[in-house]
Amino acid sequence: MNALEYIKKVPKAELHLHIEGSFEPELMFEIAQRNKIEIPYSSIGELKKAYQFGNLQDFLDIYYAGANVLIHEQDFYDLTMAYFKHCAEENIVHTEIMFDPQTHTKRGVAFSTVINGIQRAREDAERQYGISSLLIMSYLRHLSEEDAFETLQQSLPFRHLIKSVGLDSSEKGNPPSKFRKVFEASVKEGYIPVAHAGEEGPAEYICEALDLLKVARIDHGNNCLTDPKLVERLVEEKMALTVCPLSNTALRNVDDIKNHPLKKMLDLGLQVTVNSDDPAYFGGYLTQNYISCIEALDLSLEQVKQLVRNSFQYSFLPEEMKEKFL
Ligand code: ADE
Ligand code: ZN
């Protein structure tokens, strides 16, 4: 079996996926219509044409605008269920889903509306498809730490449904150090900390995420490559990096998939995983991310097997569940 045949069939896990980033234009138009919300694009085609990004902020502006049409619990259910359908088609058997409560609570949508819709979809996906999932509540780093504290408070009645806290949105100028206290408080509540770091921001932000936020995984982390000492540390500590290849090219952090550092990262001994980030915006779900890398970087079957093993190894599944896939 070659690497392409293997990746299409094998059971896989996804560790870095923003549910709001799985919002396909077709569903966005459908939900906008039923909620009687205007979107500033006349057709699905016109909306898709807007998906040309020069950097992370260009993308975030469109991503937050798209999320504006999500109002009711059913909207969050439909959004999440649509992603699980993709998982079922691609044999993604476990997924760790990030959601951005502040994107919705800032617009007057209750925290309970968001999480109840997502949770109902999680339960249906487990029942219908046998897919296991967990939730990563992500704080928006362009907002204040005080705002994140408010979100932490709002999450407490639903603590049993949330495994982890993350940090996302505009990285440059919003270092992990800005959120040290709220991460400390989140860990005290039992949440496992993760953070986006080194996507657009410097290697220094990865160090801060490790030292100040005490993260269990780094989301992206590509810019560690500018600091050999940090690479050495990440290798030594077996710190997982949730790399998102098609996101990196769509947001111009990598100019061409042929120049993506994934293979180099594997060769250096970094514990990398492959993920889709925001698949509705970046041109591919998880399997397509693997396929693009296999083709552009000529990954061997052994390397692809390693990436798939890593996706389970560095998941937050209980050890006995991981073992079924390792
Ligand atoms: N929110 C959704 N996708 C993101 C990304 N790639 N980086 C930072 N924040 C995000
Ligand atoms: Zn992300």
Residue nearest to atom 9 of ligand 1 (CA): 169
Q: Long-range contacts of range 72-75, CB-CB < 8 Å, 24 or more positions apart?
A: 72/35, 72/113, 72/117, 73/113, 73/116, 73/117, 73/120, 74/117, 75/31, 75/35, 75/117
Lookup result for tokens 């798939």: 308
Q: Annotated binding site: which residue ranges?
A: 16, 18, 196, 277-278
Please, are residues 101 and 154 in contact by the beta-carbon 8 Å criterion? yes
Please, are residues 103 and 285 in contact by the beta-carbon 8 Å criterion? no
User: 168: which residues sit within 8 A by CB, 6+ positions away?
Assistant: 18, 98, 100, 138, 139, 140, 141, 196, 219
Tell me the backbone φ, ψ of residue 42, rounded to 5 degrees. -80, -20
Q: What is the number of the ligand 1 atom nearest to the C-alpha of 18?
A: 2
CB of residue 277 inside a 6 A radius of ligand 1: yes
Report pLDDT digits (tens) over 51-108: 999 999 999 999 999 999 999 999 999 999 999 999 999 999 999 999 999 999 999 9
> CB atoms < 10 A from the CB of 290, how many?
28
Q: Does the active-site annotation cover 123? A: no
113 confidence band (pLDDT: 50, 70, 90): very high
Pocket test for ligand 1, best of 20, 23, 60, 139 (most atoms within 8 A of CB): 60
DSSP code of residue 121: H
Q: Domains of the chain, with CATH numbers?
A: 3-316 (3.20.20.140)
CB of residue 21 inside a 6 A radius of ligand 1: yes
Pocket test for ligand 1, best of 168, 249, 281 (most atoms within 8 A of CB): 168
pLDDT (mean) for 162-182: 98
Q: How far is the CA of 218 from the centre of ligand 2 (A)?
A: 10
> CB atoms < 10 A from the CB of 97, how many?
23
pLDDT at 71: 98
Q: What is the number of the ligand 1 atom nearest to the C-alpha of 200?
A: 7
Please, are residues 22 and 319 in contact by the beta-carbon 8 Å criterion? no
244 confidence band (pLDDT: 50, 70, 90): very high
User: 25: which residues sit within 8 A by CB, 6+ positions away?
Assistant: 44, 47, 48, 280
User: 129: which residues sit within 8 A by CB, 6+ positions away?
Assistant: 84, 87, 88
Angle between helices 286-297 and 301-313 (to 10 degrees): 150
Q: How far is the CA of 169 from the centre of ligand 2 (A)?
A: 8
Please, are residues 111 and 158 in contact by the beta-carbon 8 Å criterion? yes
What type of residue is 109?
V
Residue 326 scores a pLDDT above 90? no
pLDDT (mean) for 163-185: 98
Report pLDDT digits (tens) over 38-48: 998 999 999 99
Residue 175 scores a pLDDT above 90? yes
pLDDT at 237: 98
- Pick the ligand that lies closest to the CA of residue 201: 1
Please, are residues 251 and 240 in contact by the beta-carbon 8 Å criterion? no
What strands, in cross-sheet order, belong to the sheet with 12-18?
12-18, 92-99, 132-140, 164-168, 192-197, 217-220, 240-243, 271-274
Q: Which residues of 106-143 are buried (b: 16+ CB within 10 A; e: fewer)?
A: eeebebebbbbbbbbbbeebeeebebbbbbbbbbbbeb
pLDDT (mean) for 135-152: 98
Q: How far is the CA of 56 from the centre of ligand 1 (A)?
A: 7
| Catalytic residue chosen out of the listed positions 199, 295, 319, 323 | 199
Residue 24 scores a pLDDT above 90? yes
Lookup result for tokens 């949330």: 162
The runs of H, that is alpha helices, within 136-285 are 145-155, 180-188, 203-211, 228-236, 245-250, 262-268, 279-282
pLDDT at 141: 98
Pocket test for ligand 1, best of 196, 222, 244, 253 (most atoms within 8 A of CB): 196
Report pLDDT digits (tens) over 199-223: 999 999 999 999 999 999 999 999 9
Reference 215, options 326, 134, 309, 138; nearest CA is: 138
Please, are residues 98 and 18 in contact by the beta-carbon 8 Å criterion? yes
306 confidence band (pLDDT: 50, 70, 90): very high
